[in-house]
């Protein structure tokens, strides 16, 4: 089962946490080494299985950095 994670508000902290989702783009950890940036499609703003995959990364920091820049 995959885990969906919210973008981190601080880019310096690259290790998980319980940050709240702050925008349209978020990071989903597919495996330990694959992170997907997805675009939230639901009207209630919650991540769902039909959300578009925008880009994939093999480095967590890069995925969060990209998602945060897309949400600006």
Q: How far is it, in rounded angstroms, from Cα 63 to Cα 13?
A: 13
Residue 23: its pLDDT value, please? Answer: 83
**Burial tier of 29 (Cβ tally within 10 Å: 0-12, 13-18, 19+):** middle
- What are the extents of the domains in the chain? 3-71
pTM for this entry: 0.68
Pair 12, 55: CB distance under 8 Å: no
Task: Give pLDDT tens digits for 3-48.
Answer: 555 544 333 333 443 233 568 999 999 999 999 999 999 888 889 8
pLDDT at 1: 46
């Amino acid at each position: 089962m995959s885990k969906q994670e919210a973008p981190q508000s601080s880019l310096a902290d690259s290790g998980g946490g319980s940050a709240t989702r702050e925008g349209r783009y978020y990071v989903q950890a597919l495996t330990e080494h694959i992170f997907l940036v997805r675009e939230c499609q639901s009207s209630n703003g919650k991540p769902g299985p039909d959300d578009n995959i925008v880009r994939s990364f093999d480095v967590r920091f890069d995925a969060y950095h990209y998602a945060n820049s897309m949400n600006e």
